[in-house]
Amino acid sequence: MDLKLKVWRQKNAKEKGKIVNYDAKGVSPDMSFLEMLDVVNEDLIVKGEDPIAFEHDCREGICGSCNIMINGEAHGPLPGVTTCQLHMRTFKDGDTIYLEPWRAKAFPVLKDLVVDRSGFDRIIQAGGFVSINTGGAPDANALPIPKKDADVAMDAATCIGCGACVASCKNASAMLFVSAKVSHLALLPQGQVEKKERVKNMVNAMDKEGFGNCTNQYECEAACPKEIKRDFIRVLNKEFILS
């Protein structure tokens, strides 16, 4: 496959960026999207040019760091996958592909396709944890939890904090991310002691970081690679009102 890439290049957070054209030739349809970028970067390095900066770690759809807007869609056109899980057979020979970073005030561009997502870290630090004494591991595991609650809590806990929800929302809202983090602890007995303070602290931290408000468009749910449900936003609103 031969492809044409239109990539956002930006040297640092202070300089203006622009779209630069690149050719990706001889791409195997079995390559992942990031492997394709590796091949393009190898060619750029041989030519003495600056490689395209993009973030990645596990390449298994777990870490959430491979955040790229591909043709205007977070992580690309396939539902329920991260960029590293997207394979080139999704595209056709001769296609033109646009690559851009997340677009959100709270996620400033650091370089090329890399953005600063540390705002999510600060939201977690504000309350996404439990600090009660649960005893040893056997004691904690012995706490009775209804299966229904455990299943829903696990669904919320699958959020990998990639930021696709923010990048896809017209308001750059982080409500889906925060609601997932609040909900999975609010449903478990270990999270009850700090329940009221947690939701207030995390929502306040979200607002302080400059994320937008939710207007129920639900593009966040559609873009989430872990298919986190919008129902958790309802849980967040309930917890916040009762706090």
DSSP state of 51: P
* pLDDT for 79 beyond 90: yes
242's CB contacts (< 8 A; 6+ apart) are 196
Q: How confident is the model at residue 165 (pLDDT cuts 50, 70, 90)?
A: very high
What is the Cα–Cα distance from 171 to 183, expressed in whole angstroms? Answer: 22
The amino acid occupying position 18 is K
* pLDDT for 68 beyond 80: yes
The amino acid occupying position 234 is R
pLDDT of residue 243: 83
Q: Kindly report the pTM of this predicted structure.
A: 0.92
**124's tokens:** 């977690």
What structural domains does the chain harbor?
Answer: 3-111 (3.10.20.30), 118-242 (1.10.1060.10)
CB 111 within 8 A of CB 53: yes
* pLDDT for 33 beyond 80: yes
